A and B are shown apart, each in its own frame.
Chain A
Amino acid sequence: MAPRGAVETARAVAAGDLRAVDVLEEHLGAIRAREGEVHAFNLVTQDAARVHAAEIDARVAAGGAVGPLAGVVVALKDNMCTRGVPTTCSSRILEGWRPPYDATVVRRLAEADAVVVGKTNLDEFAMGSSTENSAFGPTRNPHDTSRVPGGSSGGSAAAVAAGMATVSLGSDTGGSIRQPAALCGLVGVKPTYGVVSRQGLVAFASSLDQIGPFARSVADAALVLETIGGHDPLDSTSIPAPAPTLGPALVEGVRGMRIGRVTDLPEGAEPEVLARLDEAVAALAAAGASIVDVTLPSLGYGLTAYYLIAPAEASSNLARYDGVRHGLRVDAPDVNAMYAATRAAGFGDEVKRRIMLGTYALSAGYYDAYYGKALKVRRLIADDFARAYGACDAILTPTSPTVAFPVGAKTSDPLTMYLCDVFTIPTNLAGHAAMSVPFGAGAHGLPVGVQVLAPALGEHAMFRVAAELERRAPAAGGR
């Protein structure tokens, strides 16, 4: 029997047909059974979760009102601040830090009566595509534990794929929700920049970061996005509008929609991944959409733009980790030596590499050649999308060029790892919406995701397409 989804759980808990404490214990049982081999979590907050679930049940029993995610078990990527609960970003430099406030998304989940079960593993400071760059060890793919779950939100993806949480939150700077969703056979959403508040999300690259949900169904992802989205006065980049209403999009179908098929996609995707994409396009055509050929000639240059812009922003954002206000300090006779020693001891190799790359790209003499040029490429990519969306309502591409790869396969060469993000990065550069939807299996029977891209605030169109793909998706294979 398929595990219960968020929509069904919330409805049953609110009606008194299902107890939140029992839902929670099912998930804690899954954690006990599989966490040893998967390592999805940095911290399981079972005591607080049990108290919270019992409180929800008591409220239902007393005839009180409960929120739209009543009793839904949710896991949080460990780069979202939780008051009094350790928030590490999977980095030694923040080990033991307990934030003095909750992220806005954490507050909104609590107000909706979701039950937080723990904080999930990630590539350190969300820098990576495999969740191998964690100071606390790698997360494994529940479909095949010799393989990675993708990253950087690999723990949040693995937790949902292994039934340890019903839904989870990740953050997506260059594909960190969509790529692990694809590799773990889940729905993963990168909302339009500004739809979900970043307040309390530890900043990696502020012009690219966005929080979004992982779920086992499009409807569950929609419910979570409706709950966490909407204007937040505490985030100056938050769009001053309510969260999107997505219920109608789930049942409208795609008849009359124009779906873009990219004729000049960057090369490198596995043949099975491209075959699933073709089948997804055909499925939408069969459902009444018209297929339009579009070109995105600058798309392949997104990788370069991203790997200059994101490290540049990170080098600035991560300057705050200096041994003064939180986490680790390595003692030294003067303050400058203390900063440098603390940061050298606290950051892992990939974080140091990106800080160095970003600092170099911003430094005098190199700014125009690297960072300045990257910003112009970013504009070309946004212009490409603007042209394409003149002819179509949504675009289909692969999410990841490959299915889940073996642990250790790409750790020796950073550039090889960066190529995992070639199809997901352009969305972040443009600030648009995109999501990955499971669509059959690829090599070794592993899950394949198809990516649905939509323009800024195009969530309605995006979820129409995603729901149709879900209805027409082939089975995910034998695993």
Chain B
Amino acid sequence: MPDTTRGGDADSSRAADPAATLSPEVVAKVARLARLALGDDEVVRMTAQLAGMLAHFHDVDALDLAGVQPMSRPYEMVNVLRDDEPAPSLDRDEVLAAAPDAADGRFRVPPIVGLEG
């Protein structure tokens, strides 16, 4: 990697040592946020792998990022408008035919309320 000098990162966003902060409990919480039902062994394995990656990612701490504007996409976005002309939409039956479960022209899902989450 080029340049190993530590720059002064004035935006105080440097993370703590990920090996210290990334516990299986944190990983289990992230899995809940990501809606992934991971087994205990998967959580343990994932914790080690993610910690290894995060440790590598601290190579950028060598850069001086103070005052650098974040770049989230190649070009500045401009709002795109079109004329409001009616046009055919997707065929509802064709769309619903691809769903795991459908009824009465709608997607059908298990109960959303009334059960323990």
Question: Chain A residues in contact with chain B, CB under 8 A?
Answer: 97-101, 193-194, 207, 233, 236-237, 264, 266-267, 297-301, 304-305, 307-308, 315, 319, 322-329, 331-341, 343-344, 347, 352-353, 355-357, 359-360, 363, 366, 368-370, 372-380, 382, 414-415, 429-432, 456
User: In the complex the two chains form, is A323's CB within 8 Å of B100's CB?
Assistant: yes
In the complex, are the beta carbons of B70 and A376 less than 8 A apart?
Answer: yes
Contact partner of B69 (CB less than 8 A), chosen from A233, A363, A376, is: A376
With a cutoff of 8 Å between Cβ atoms, the chain B residues found around residue A347 in the complex are 36
In Å, the complex CA distance between A327 and B40 comes to 26
Q: Which residue of B lies closest to A339 (CB)?
A: B35
Evaluate whether A340 and B37 lie within 8 angstroms (CB atoms) in the complex, with A324-B100, A353-B46 already known: yes
Contact flag A325-B98 (CB < 8 Å), given A297-B3, A300-B1, A375-B72? yes
The 10 sampled A-B contact pairs (Cβ below 8 Å) are A193-B75, A301-B63, A322-B35, A326-B99, A338-B109, A339-B35, A370-B54, A373-B13, A376-B69, A430-B74
Asked whether A373 and B71 contact (CB < 8 A) given A347-B36, A414-B49, the answer is: no
Using known A-B contacts A100-B98, A343-B35, A414-B53, determine if residue A369 contacts B74 with beta carbons closer than 8 Å.
no
Could you tell me if B98 and A326 are in contact, using CB atoms closer than 8 angstroms? yes
Contacts of A304 in B (CB 8 A): 56-57, 59-60
- A300-B4 Cα distance, complex, nearest whole Å: 11
Per-residue interface assignment for chain B, residues 43 to 66, with 1 indicating a CB less than 8 Å from any chain A CB and 0 otherwise: 000100110111011011001010
Q: For the A-B complex with A194-B75, A300-B2 known, give 10 more contacts whose Cβ atoms are closer than 8 Å.
A: A301-B60, A322-B35, A340-B32, A356-B36, A360-B30, A369-B14, A376-B70, A379-B71, A380-B65, A429-B71
Residues of A within 8 A of B14 (CB): 369
B82 lies within 8 A of A315 (CB)? no
Residues of A within 8 Å of B110, CB to CB, are: 331-335, 337-338
Number of residues in B with C-beta < 8 Å to the partner?
A: 59
Select from chain A the residue with minimum beta-carbon distance to B42. Answer: A352
Q: Which residues 68-90 of B sit at the A interface, judged by CB distance below 8 A?
A: 68-75, 77, 80, 82, 90
B2, A264: Cβ atoms under 8 Å? yes
* Residue from A331, A357, A374, A380 in contact with B50 in the complex, judged by beta carbons closer than 8 Å: A357
Verify if B15 is at the interface (C-beta below 8 Å from A): yes
Most central of B1, B30, B35, B68 by chain A CB within 10 Å: B35
Assembled-state Cα–Cα distance A201/B17 (Å): 38
Q: Lowest 7 A-B CB distances belong to which pairs?
A: A431-B74, A369-B15, A375-B70, A329-B100, A368-B13, A340-B37, A379-B71
Chain B hits for A305, CB < 8 A: 60
Q: How far is the CB of A455 from chain B (nearest CB, A)?
A: 11
Whether B82 contacts A101 by the Cβ 8 Å rule is: no
Residue from A325, A333, A372 with most neighbouring chain B CB atoms (10 Å): A325
Q: Which of B3, B50, B60, B98 contacts A373 (CB 8 A)?
A: B60
The residue of chain A having its C-beta at the shortest distance from the C-beta of B93 within the complex is A100
CB < 8 Å neighbour of A359 from B1, B30, B99:
B30
Residues of B near A98 (CB, < 8 A) are 97-98
Partner of B36, one of A267, A343, A357, A431: A343
CA distance A101 to B27 in the complex (A): 37
| Chain B residues closer than 8 Å to A430, beta-carbon distance | 74
Separation in Å of the A250 CB from the closest CB of chain B?
A: 26
Residues of chain A contacted by B53 (CB below 8 angstroms): 307, 357, 414-415
Task: Tell me if B19 is interfacial: C-beta within 8 Å of chain A.
Answer: no
